[in-house]
């Protein structure tokens, strides 16, 4: 089962990732925040696309759930770390990281055009 230590290690292994406080959570970002770790270190919120969120929540509803607000509708998803394996955590972190990096690159390209 995955732990907060696994999340910390895996997130910081992704290119350009930095760690910092975000309200009562620890945030990991690469241009944009892509995952936050709860202060109790049992859950994390990560950014998926709405389709990816729906798929994860359907496959493993005991491990994944949408945030219960407008952020959830944008793909922000809570994962209960003890309910997933380290390999699955690695995969979902890489997915969230790619969204953060590609979103930043898209905005930079648009800024150059204007």
Instruction: Look at the pTM and tell me if it is higher than 0.75.
Output: yes
Q: Report whether pLDDT(103) > 90.
A: no
**Measuring CA to CA, how many Å separate 95 from each of 24, 39, 47, 53, 113?**
24, 23, 8, 11, 27
Give all domains of the chain, ordered by start, each with its CATH number: 4-113 (3.90.1150.30)
Give the model confidence (pLDDT) of 71-99 as tens digits.
999 999 999 999 999 999 999 999 999 99
Residue-wise pLDDT for 25-62, tens only, equals 999 999 999 999 999 999 999 999 999 999 999 999 99
pLDDT of residue 104: 57
> Across all residues in the chain, what is the average pLDDT?
93
């Amino acid at each position: 089962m995955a732990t907060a230590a696994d999340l910390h290690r895996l997130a910081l292994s992704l290119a350009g990732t930095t760690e910092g406080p975000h309200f009562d959570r620890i945030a990991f970002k690469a241009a944009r925040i892509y995952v936050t770790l709860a202060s109790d270190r049992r859950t994390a919120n990560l950014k998926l696309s709405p389709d990816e969120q729906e798929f994860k929540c359907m496959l493993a509803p005991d491990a994944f759930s949408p945030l219960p607000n407008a952020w959830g509708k944008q793909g922000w998803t809570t994962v209960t770390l003890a309910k997933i394996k380290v390999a699955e955590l690695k995969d979902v972190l890489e997915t969230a990281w790619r969204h953060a990096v590609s979103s930043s690159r898209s905005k930079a390209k648009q800024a150059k055009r204007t």
